[in-house]
Amino acid sequence: MRQHDTLFIGGEWVTPAGTGTIDVISPHTEEVVGRVPDGTAEDMERAVAAAREAFDHGPWPRMTFAERAAVIGRLAAIYESRQSEMAALITEEMGSPITFSNLAQAPQPLSMLQFYAGYGATFEQEEQRPGLFGPVTVRREPVGVVAAVVPWNVPQFVSMTKIAPALLAGCTIVLKPAPETPLDSYLLAEMVLEAGIPAGVLNIVPAGREAGEHLVSHAGVDKVAFTGSTAAGRRIAAICGEQLKRVSLELGGKSAAIVLDDADLPSSMGMLAIASLMNNGQACVAQTRILASRNRYDEVVEAVANMVTSQPVGDPGDPATGIGPLVAKRQQERVEGYIRAGMDEGAKVVVGGLDRPYDRGWYVAPTVFAGVSNDMRIAREEIFGPVLAVIPYEDEADAVRIANDSDYGLAGTVWTADTDHGMDVARQVRTGTYGVNCYMLEANTPFGGYKASGIGRELGPEGLNGYLEYKTIARLG
């Protein structure tokens, strides 16, 4: 078992203020695989004080962008050397299939570090513009102390969408990992020490909701960067609004995959399996609404059902596994509640249902519903599990209408033999990210959503902007 007795604050491993602990439980075995301190409000006070000291008086914000980029590059090199270890650790703590951990859980955070290291090498802090009475300097400065609050589903991915650009900007950070997945953050702290990032620039305090709210509302925090549920995002936005504190929110999704009549189903299903079932369905960008025309509806339902049943369900540490367990018993029960709701509303279970694949572990049967209308709960609410709803449409305009008929606007896809036409469809769907015959995220492009899917963008140059304040200096002569 992985045992940690300290917190990472001010560049040191320090004794926590309280005696509470967080047990990390394997979703596969239901056994305790790790234990860390349960951070308190007092621990958050110490972490914010360390970040505040490092920002107000330390060297990090006063270095050039190129100097900080070089340090981020060192961190990236260390991360690369340990990415297999990171992938295995995330699989152990939250049940992500090892193939997905090796594909995304560790490599994508690495790509973010690499992008910002390269982008920052030539980034200019000041820009000169002509003014009416003389030159004007536009200066970019770090926003200050950042509270990064992250969920459990892709813990390093969401952490790094905040840490990498914040570091390049010159901010200092307090990271609050989710109680379900704190172990990977300890490995990250080891890398930060090895890379020589100054004390207090990154502080890590695993904790629950109460200590997390203390961090968010702390007067010493200049910006909150949050990824999680829309309900929690609304609460955080209200706190930040009262304090006029900067905030970025990456929230939920209920993304639609539009299957056009010219799509080649056999070739589409391989990529759609990744897009819809990634990380056991525990992904905010998962394509869980699959829209099929009435002309090919039965054919698409059959193809989707075959795609789902072809994914082996089992031990997430086995490279042959396609779908592993959900992160916690409460999540298992929540997803089963949605399956029951779909049945109660009249949708037809094509594969899956309420019979659990295993007696031990927090598994649910991957489920496909047919006969779904877009007003059903399983079509409107984020389930966060391997549950897909196949919804019929009349024509392409109707498909776009259904895709847009959602409180969310995070992601989406279209599947077609004509990629140019697919681009036309993509331009009509109101989401922050989209794919034609695929779904992927790139470190150099913005990620975020419309509507209830959040506020702001992460990744790419746009992600850096969220950690900068812009100052205009006009002068005569």
* Tally of CB atoms within 10 A around 3: 8
User: What is the average pLDDT score of the chain?
Assistant: 97
- The pLDDT, as a whole number, for residue 401 is 98
Residue with tokens 């990171």: 86
Q: Enumerate residues 6+ apart whose C-beta is below 8 A from 211.
A: 38, 39, 40, 41, 43, 44, 176, 205
Mean pLDDT of 364-368: 98
pTM of the prediction?
A: 0.96
Rounded-to-integer distance, Cα 328 and Cα 318, Å = 19
Tokens matching residue 307? 């795609």
- Let me know: does 391 contact 379? Beta carbons within 8 Å: yes
The Cα–Cα gap between 186 and 69 comes to 22
> Residue 377's pLDDT is what?
98
* Interatomic CA distance for residues 87 and 89, integer angstroms: 5
Enumerate the active-site residues: 250, 284
| The pLDDT of residue 451 | 97
Pairing state of beta strands 172-176 and 145-149? parallel
Query: Rounded CA gap, 179 and 357, in Å?
Result: 26
| For residues 342-359, average pLDDT | 97
Question: 225 forms bridges with which residues in the sheet?
Answer: 148, 248
What integer pLDDT is reported at residue 160 of this predicted model? Answer: 98
Beta carbons of 374 and 382 less than 8 angstroms apart: no
Model pLDDT for residues 127-138, shown as the tens digit of each residue: 999 999 999 999
DSSP string, 426-472: HTTS--S--EES-----TTS-B--EETTEES-BSHHHHHHTTEEEEE
List % helix, strand, coil for the chain (3-state, nearest 5): 40, 20, 35
pLDDT at 477 over 90: no
Per-residue model confidence as pLDDT tens digits over 419-448: 999 999 999 999 999 999 999 999 999 999
- Find out whether 223 and 114 touch, Cβ atoms under 8 Å: no
Rounded distance between C-alpha atoms, residue 96 and residue 50, angstroms: 33
Torsion-angle region of 300 (φ positive above 0: left; ψ -120 to 50: alpha; else: beta) = alpha
Cα–Cα distance for residue pair 250/85, rounded to 1 Å: 27
